A and B are shown apart, each in its own frame.
Chain A
Amino acid sequence: MSEEPILSVRGLKVSFRTDQGMVHAVDDISFDLDAREILCIVGESGSGKTLTILTILGLISDPNAVIEGSVRFRGRELIGLPARQLRRVRGREIAMIFQDPMTALTPVFTIGWQIAEQVREHTTLSRRAARALAVELIEAVGIPNPKGVVDRYPHELSGGMRQRAVIAMALSCNPALLLADEPTTALDVTVQAQILDLIRKLRADFGSSVILITHNMGVVAEMADRVMVMYAGRIVERGQRDSVFARPWHPYTWGLLGSIPPLEGERPHRLISIPGLPPSLLHVPAGCAFAPRCRWSRAACAERPVLAGSGGHDSACVLDPTQRRAARAAALGVLPGVA
């Protein structure tokens, strides 16, 4: 096995030209993704999660967008790749699942047709073979009566079924990397669990790597190998899941974790919420973007903190370990099993 990460993002910046000047929606993001790894990107709406993965596939079509940095997939630079070559990566090597299954499928074509279309775009399979594969895929994602569903139109299926169909389509060419943009947000809780199971099963069956975007820490706890927390277009913390959950370093992560109701023990009177709102991307503070909402902000926060840490667990926060421990204990209460 090679140690080479399958995806390597370096210094990725996505900015938009607007009337009020440049808006940095994704600001200097770097991360690696190993084969068969599930990386969860967490953050509030507008923190740049979706833009980050859209950039990976070159799906930002806004003419005012400026994209800088590097995205290397299997050693190949994707930023600036000619459209024709990029098309061969899209759908075949990197597939994407979108947030809202209700609108993600073209309403005027059948599910089977849409799956077969992708298959035929990237392989030389005949129409009939592509259709047979579509039936197989529909069955593989757990849709009952695949032979009937293959000829159904999207509006004839429920949201969960549609999301399965989208996943079936994404899997059709055995992608090495699956990008999932909040795949369960629009679904019922019971269906959510099934879809997450499906994604996990995919990794087991097809060996795909997954980038899963969510704002649900519960999903992260269940799915992630590694976690990346984004705030205002920047990475504020990243690390192994267990490490991040057990010893979160960044006050913003504490806020996210604190907002989950505990399963055991006394029920809190109110859930902890993070005061304030995320900054407008037009006016991101020059220093730490989270500082205005942070209880522990200090003079040093006026300078942009460096993403640093040890043992694969990094955070962009100026708090030193002692201060951090004290502040975290105050923010979350003492977590069980934390020294």
Chain B
Amino acid sequence: MISTIIRRLAHMILVMFGISMIVFLIFFATPGADPAARIAGRNASPETLEQVRASFGLDQPLPVQYGLMMHRLFVTRSLTSFVNRGMAVVPAVMEAAPVTLSLVFGAAILWVAGGIAIGITAAACRNTLIDRLLMILGLIGVSMPVFWLGEVMNLITQSRLHDTWLFAWVPALGYKSLSAQPWEWFKTMVIPWITLAVMYAGLYGRVLRANLVEAGQEDFIRTARAKGLSETRILLRHALRTSLISFVTMFGLDFGALVGGGALLTEVVFGLQGVGKLTYDALQSLDLPMIMATVIYASFFVVVSNAVVDILYAFIDPRVRGTGA
């Protein structure tokens, strides 16, 4: 167990190092990428450029620059933005992270529950009207772009039907702190959660149904029937466990990516100042320290969620146990 954790940690450090290197090199070492020119602005005089270089430490060799940046990011945590001088990037990420985590965790609960419900119901009612209906709904969910759905949700809940009993409870856009106003936080997040979860619920439901139907062909399902078990029990105990593997795999990837900033569109539509928004803004202004911080943060969550997925694998399928540790 301990060796597994150590291996995971080493793995994580390796991944984060690799990603930080790539990001660094893209912004510092690709042809035409002169951060000083960008910081100094258009038509800056050579003297200004020199000054900028010196003041940002850009005149030093690349490995030193990289080392300095990592040192200031992880050790002193004093790395500041190139764009808003004096704005420390680590606190900025720390401030944005709870917003994104609230959004993605809540949505994940919804889409996992929704996906499992849709998948199981459709598989149980296979080839009936209910099955087809659910699959079409799932497809519609997958097809709706999240920014469009978000805007429609906003239109309905913030404007058109906001003054009716139905959506009067929906607060104005913007994030409320969970610790300070838990109830307000919840009310604010409900609509973003639903918006973000719809697509994933549809997708996961369809995948789970396909896996359940496929599992239904397995010999052990026939054995279970021959044992005299009920169809419900066969589906929930025997077919579901083995079908969850691809579900969990997808979840690990999607969850990691969303927490890492992939929920940008939802964040923008609902005015949530999350990591996605932060990354997006940093990219707009090519603010390397900020990009570096958000990318490192994102890779951390991707690696962590994949580690969690591996643990879940072992929990779901005993055949995985013992081989990976």
- Let me know if A105 and B228 touch, CB within 8 A: no
Interface residues in A161-194 by Cβ distance below 8 A to B read 166, 169
Name the B residues within 8 Å of A103 (CB-CB).
218-220
Q: Which of B223, B229, B238, B317 has the most CB of A within 10 A?
A: B223
Query: Given that A105-B220, A153-B319 are contacting pairs, would A169 and B241 also be in contact in the complex, using a CB cutoff of 8 Å?
Result: no
Q: How far is the CB of A277 from chain B (nearest CB, A)?
A: 26
- Let me know if B316 and A108 touch, CB within 8 A: yes
Interface residues in A190-246 by Cβ distance below 8 A to B read none
- Let me know if B228 and A118 touch, CB within 8 A: yes
Stretch at the interface among A68-76, A85-93, A136-144, A310-318: A85-93
Interface assignment of A282: CB less than 8 Å from any CB of chain B: no
Q: Which of A57, A83, A96, A108 has the most CB of B within 10 A?
A: A108
Interface assignment of B179: CB less than 8 Å from any CB of chain A: no
Query: Given that A63-B127, A153-B318, A153-B319 are contacting pairs, would A104 and B220 also be in contact in the complex, using a CB cutoff of 8 Å?
Result: yes
Partner of B318, one of A59, A90, A108, A117: A108
- Let me know if B220 and A121 touch, CB within 8 A: no
- Let me know if A107 and B317 touch, CB within 8 A: yes
Whole-angstrom CA separation of A87 from B225 in the bound complex: 8
- Let me know if B227 and A107 touch, CB within 8 A: no
Name the A residues within 8 Å of B39 (CB-CB).
none
Whole-angstrom CA separation of A108 from B220 in the bound complex: 11
Interface assignment of A98: CB less than 8 Å from any CB of chain B: yes
- Let me know if B227 and A98 touch, CB within 8 A: no
- Let me know if B226 and A90 touch, CB within 8 A: yes
- Let me know if B219 and A100 touch, CB within 8 A: yes
Partner of A98, one of B127, B219, B319: B219
Contact with A along B198-240 (1 / 0, CB 8 A): 0000000000000000000011101111111111000001100
Partner of A104, one of B223, B229, B317, B319: B223
Partner of B226, one of A63, A96, A109, A153: A96
- Let me know if A98 and B223 touch, CB within 8 A: yes
Query: Given that A153-B318, A153-B319, A155-B319 are contacting pairs, would A104 and B227 also be in contact in the complex, using a CB cutoff of 8 Å?
Result: no
Name the A residues within 8 Å of B226 (CB-CB).
57, 59, 90-91, 95-96, 98
Whole-angstrom CA separation of A101 from B293 in the bound complex: 53
Name the A residues within 8 Å of B227 (CB-CB).
90-91, 117-118, 121, 169
Interface assignment of A323: CB less than 8 Å from any CB of chain B: no
Interface assignment of B246: CB less than 8 Å from any CB of chain A: no
Whole-angstrom CA separation of A61 from B218 in the bound complex: 12
Interface assignment of A247: CB less than 8 Å from any CB of chain B: no
Given contacts A100-B219, A103-B219, 4 further A-B contacts (CB under 8 A): A106-B238, A107-B220, A117-B227, A153-B319
The 3 closest A-B pairs by CB, nearest first: A91-B228, A90-B228, A103-B219
Q: Give me 11 A-to-B residue pairs in the complex whose CB atoms sit less than 8 angstroms apart, sorted by A's number.
A: A59-B222, A88-B228, A103-B218, A104-B222, A106-B238, A107-B318, A108-B242, A108-B317, A117-B237, A118-B227, A118-B229
Give the interface of B toward A (CB within 8 A).
Answer: 127, 218-220, 222-231, 237-238, 241-242, 316-319
